[in-house]
Chains A and B, each alone.
Chain A
Amino acid sequence: MILKLAWRNIWRNKRRTLITATMIFMAVMLATVMQCVQRGVYDRNIDNLVSYSTGYIQVNAAGHHEDKTLETSVAFTPELIEKIMSVEGVKDVSPKIENVGLSATDNSSKETLILAVDPKREAGSTKLDQRIVEGRYFNEKDNAVLIGSGLAKRLNVSAGDTIVLLSIGYQQASANGLFPIAGVVELASPELNKRIMYLPIAAAQNLFLLGDQVSSISVLLDDKLEYKRIAAEIEGKLGEEYEVLHWQELVPELAQLAEGDKTSGKMFMLVLYIIISFGVFGTVLMMLAERKREFGVVTSIGMKRRSLAIIVVLENLIISFLGAIVGMILALPVVNWLHTSPVSLAGDMKQAYEKLGFEPVITANFYPDVFIGNASLVFVIALLLSLYPLFKISRINPIEYLRS
Chain B
Amino acid sequence: MNVIETKSLSKVYPGAIDVVALNEVDLVIEKGEFTAIVGPSGSGKTTLLNIIGGLDSASSGSVIVAGEDICTMKENKLINFRLHNIGFVFQAYNLIPVLTAKENVEFIMMMQKWDKQKREERSTSLLKSVGLAEQIDKRPMQMSGGQQQRVAVARALASKPQFVLADEPTANLDSKSTKNLLDIMARLNKEEETTFVFSTHDQRVIDRARRVITLEDGQIVSDERR
Task: Please give the residue numbers on chain A whose beta carbons come within 8 Å of chain B beta carbons, in ascending order.
Answer: 1, 5, 8-9, 12, 293-294, 297-305, 307, 398-399, 402
With A300-B88, A302-B82, A399-B50 as known contacts, state yes or no: A307 contacts B99, CB within 8 Å. no
Are B155 and A301 in contact (CB-based, < 8 A)?
yes
Are A302 and B96 in contact (CB-based, < 8 A)?
no
Task: Please give the residue numbers on chain B whose beta carbons come within 8 Å of chain A beta carbons, in ascending order.
Answer: 50, 53, 55-56, 76, 79-80, 82-84, 88, 90, 94, 96-99, 103, 106-108, 110-111, 155, 159
List the A residue with the shortest CB-CB distance to B158: A301
Are A297 and B94 in contact (CB-based, < 8 A)?
yes
Shortest CB-to-CB span from B115 to chain A, Å, is: 13
Q: Which residues of B contact A399 (CB under 8 A)?
A: 50, 55-56
Are A1 and B79 in contact (CB-based, < 8 A)?
no
Are B79 and A304 in contact (CB-based, < 8 A)?
yes
Jot down 14 A-B pairs with beta carbons below 8 A, ordered by A.
A1-B103, A8-B98, A293-B94, A294-B96, A298-B96, A300-B55, A300-B82, A301-B82, A301-B108, A302-B111, A305-B76, A398-B55, A402-B55, A402-B90
Are A304 and B76 in contact (CB-based, < 8 A)?
yes
Cα distance A8–B99 in the bound complex, in angstroms: 8
Q: Which residues of B contact A9 (CB under 8 A)?
A: 98
Q: Which of A12, A300, A303, A402 has the most CB of B within 10 A?
A: A300
Besides A1-B103, A297-B94, A304-B79, 6 more A-B contacts (Cβ < 8 Å) are A1-B107, A294-B97, A297-B96, A300-B55, A303-B111, A402-B90
Are A300 and B96 in contact (CB-based, < 8 A)?
no
Cα distance A307–B107 in the bound complex, in angstroms: 12
Q: Which residues of A contact B107 (CB under 8 A)?
A: 1, 301
Q: Which residues of B contact A307 (CB under 8 A)?
A: 111
Chain B residues touching A, majority SS: helix
Q: Using a Cβ cutoff of 8 Å, how many contacts connect chains A and B?
A: 56
Instruction: Point out the residue from B80, B94, B98 that lies within 8 Å of A302, measured CB to CB.
Output: B80
Q: Which residues of A contact B80 (CB under 8 A)?
A: 302, 304
Cα distance A300–B94 in the bound complex, in angstroms: 11
Shortest CB-to-CB span from A6 to chain B, Å, is: 10
Q: Which residues of A contact B55 (CB under 8 A)?
A: 300, 398-399, 402
Q: Which residues of B contact A305 (CB under 8 A)?
A: 76, 79
Q: Which residues of A contact B159 (CB under 8 A)?
A: 302
List the A residue with the shortest CB-CB distance to B50: A399
Are A297 and B83 in contact (CB-based, < 8 A)?
no
With A5-B96, A5-B98 as known contacts, state yes or no: A297 contacts B90, CB within 8 Å. yes
Are A303 and B79 in contact (CB-based, < 8 A)?
yes
Shortest CB-to-CB span from B114 to chain A, Å, is: 12
Are A12 and B97 in contact (CB-based, < 8 A)?
yes
List the A residue with the shortest CB-CB distance to B159: A302
Cα distance A5–B96 in the bound complex, in angstroms: 9
Cα distance A1–B80 in the bound complex, in angstroms: 18
Leading 7 A-B pairs by shortest Cβ distance: A302-B83, A8-B98, A297-B94, A302-B82, A398-B55, A1-B110, A399-B56
List the A residue with the shortest CB-CB distance to B165: A300
